[in-house]
A and B are shown apart, each in its own frame.
Chain A
Amino acid sequence: MDWGALHTILGGVNKHSTSIGKIWLTVLFIFRIMILVVAAEKVWGDEQDDFVCNTLQPGCKNVCYDHFFPISHIRLWALQLIFVSTPALLVAMHVAYRRHEKKRQFRKGDQKCDFKDIEEIRKQRFRIEGSLWWTYTSSIFFRLIFEAVFMYAFYFMYDGFRMPRLMKCNAWPCPNTVDCFVSRPTEKTVFTIFMIAVSSICILLNVAELCYLLTKFFLRRSKKAGNLKQQPNHENKEETKQNEMNELISDSCQNTVIGFSS
């Protein structure tokens, strides 16, 4: 079980996403998850072993490390990626539910269902409209919120996005103020800025996707409203034609009846 399993789950959602959604998914997997697994984990791998404090007092290093890194950058990113990927599951569940309903219709032999076999239902791509539109839009909205919350948590916990070389610590049992040195601060700063930049790009993509969906929704509504306005005149013409036909038929019937009776 690893990020590959998440890739399998989200890959299924990809089929029913918009183009911007597909780009977002690609950015997520290549520039965030892959970078995390292949590079970032190794940079933070030896973080506590190489965190050195200028004291021989046992326990001082542990306490200072815990004080300055309540939760490691790498763990925070892993949690962020997990939380940000989760809303896509809502869409996957909705699609699975729709497929299940179509399969049920097909099995009952419903004439409304126009699929030849179950394989076609499985491969069908659902359009983002109706209730699926609401699910999809909510999932993007939650994604945005999670991204923003995690970026803020990062900024708040580490006082910005820079990793300092030196930290001064005077938590007990350190006897006085002690100098502690972080391992690979520049490399960590570079990766932090990279991850923040990619998070920002993901936020922009999500905002763009949200705007696109809302625009599509309002355009569709105005089209429907326009169609409805034209239809009443059309219906009236048809109604009058039908009325004329009915009159002709009833007249001819009356004539025949009269003819028979006489």
Chain B
Amino acid sequence: MSWAFLRDLLSGVNKYSTGIGRIWVAVVFIFHLLVYVAAAENIWKHEHDEFECNIKQPGCENVCFDHFFPVSHIRLWALQLIVVSTPSLLVVFHVAYRENREKHHNQKLYKNPGMIDGGLLCTYLISLILKTGLEIVFLVMFYKLYNGFKIPRLVKCDIKPCPNTVDCFISKPTEKMIFLCFLVATSCLCIVLNLGELSYLVFKYSIKYYLKRHVKKQQ
């Protein structure tokens, strides 16, 4: 079980997406997932070993690290990737349900089970709203947990068993901040793409609906 599973999942989603949806999948693959695996993971690899406090008191470093990093950036990043990709599964399940129904009744119930219309349109719109909401939730979480998107070089810690206020130094703060900013920028781009796709679909299907009504009235 590895990231290849998520990759295969997203490739499956790609089949039933609009054009903007496919751009979203490409952005998530390349700027989120590939950057995570190829670069970001290694920066945070030894973060605990390289976290150094100006004290010899046993346990002080552990306690300070735990206080300042309740959940590591890299773990939040991985969680965000998984959680944000999951709503797309709703669409895949709905299409599978449609195909199952057709098999069960042994007749063609839908012109094309993968086409976005009717119930599938609702599912698709819900998945878009969920994706956007979850991205925003994670961005807010990052901001609140770490007091902004800056990573300081030095943090002052005075939790027991540290005897007094102790200077603790974080490793590679600049590099971590650069990649954090990269992550925030990619998340914002994903939010914009999702909102764009949502507006496009709502606009397209409203026009379709009003045209149908207009034609019916004329008849």
Contact = CB atoms under 8 A, between A and B. Distances in A.
Q: Do A and B come from one complex?
A: yes
Interface of A: 1-3, 5-6, 41, 48-49, 57-59, 61-63, 65-66, 69-72, 74-75, 78-79, 82, 85-86, 89, 93, 97, 173
Contact of B169 (A2, A58, A71, A78): A58
Contacts of B3: 1-2
Given A59-B54, A82-B38, 12 more contacts: A1-B7, A1-B29, A3-B34, A3-B38, A5-B34, A62-B153, A63-B153, A63-B154, A72-B172, A75-B42, A75-B175, A78-B35
B218 to A, nearest CB: 26
What 3 pairs across the A-B complex have the smallest Cβ distances? A59-B169, A1-B3, A62-B169
Contacts of B1: none
Interface residues of B, number: 39
A66 to B, nearest CB: 5
B157 interface: no
Contacts of A71: 174-175, 178
Nearest to A89: B26
B169 A72 contact: no
A36 B47 CA distance: 23
B43 A5 contact: no
A1 B26 contact: no
22 contacts: A1-B3, A1-B33, A2-B38, A3-B34, A3-B38, A49-B46, A58-B54, A58-B55, A59-B169, A62-B153, A62-B169, A66-B153, A66-B171, A66-B175, A71-B175, A75-B42, A78-B35, A79-B35, A89-B26, A93-B23, A93-B26, A97-B19
A19 B83 CA distance: 42
B148 interface: no
B46 A2 contact: no
Given A70-B174, A75-B43, A1 B154 contact: no
Contacts of B37: 1-2
Contacts of B99: none
Contacts of A49: 46
A66 B154 contact: no
B34 to A, nearest CB: 6
B167 A59 contact: yes
Nearest to B23: A93
Contacts of A85: 30
A58 B4 CA distance: 41
Contacts of A62: 50, 52, 153, 169-171
B68 to A, nearest CB: 14
Interface in B3-23: 3-4, 6-7, 19, 22-23
Nearest to B33: A1
B180 to A, nearest CB: 12
B34 A173 contact: no
A48 B35 contact: no
A93 B26 CA distance: 10
A58 B39 contact: no
